[in-house]
Structure 1
């Protein structure tokens, strides 16, 4: 039982880190050098968005959907792009 819980936590953390890298990359592609300006312009909490980009939070589906709309991505496009990236690569 404990073994699967550890694996689940590791999987969750890996996904959170991959999403953090991807959202940082998407923000920069939009021309934003500052997460604060991006959050302000898109009516997101600056602290919440900082946590997302730094892999410090497990975002809600509502927030995920809002970010996907901002970046004009479908869930399929977003999640398939995560699989192509190494989560340890912060580029």
Structure 2
């Protein structure tokens, strides 16, 4: 079983990959364009933030992605 830190890091890596896939090379630009705190979003991608479901749902809504879609890859 993965530790909490490993899970948060994997979520952050997935968020970063999706952001880049959507054409945002910079986390700062993504955060500013979507009214997210730059440092908070950076910490999410680094797996250093205590991620809440509300925050994850908000970020996934920006990407027009469901929780099921998000967790379908790489979270076995």
> TM over 0.5, yes or no?
yes
Worse-matched range after superposition: 29-38 or 74-83: 74-83
- 2:70 is matched with 78
- 1:56 is matched with 48
Q: What's the C-alpha RMSD, in Å, of the aligned pairs?
A: 1.5
Distance 2:13 2:66 in 1: 17
8 Å CA contact 1:17, 1:55 repeated in 2? yes
- 2:30 is matched with 38
Any gaps of 5 or more consecutive residues in structure 2?
Answer: none
* Greater than 2 Å deviation, 4+ residue runs: none
* Bigger Cα Rg: 1
How many correspondences in the alignment? Answer: 76
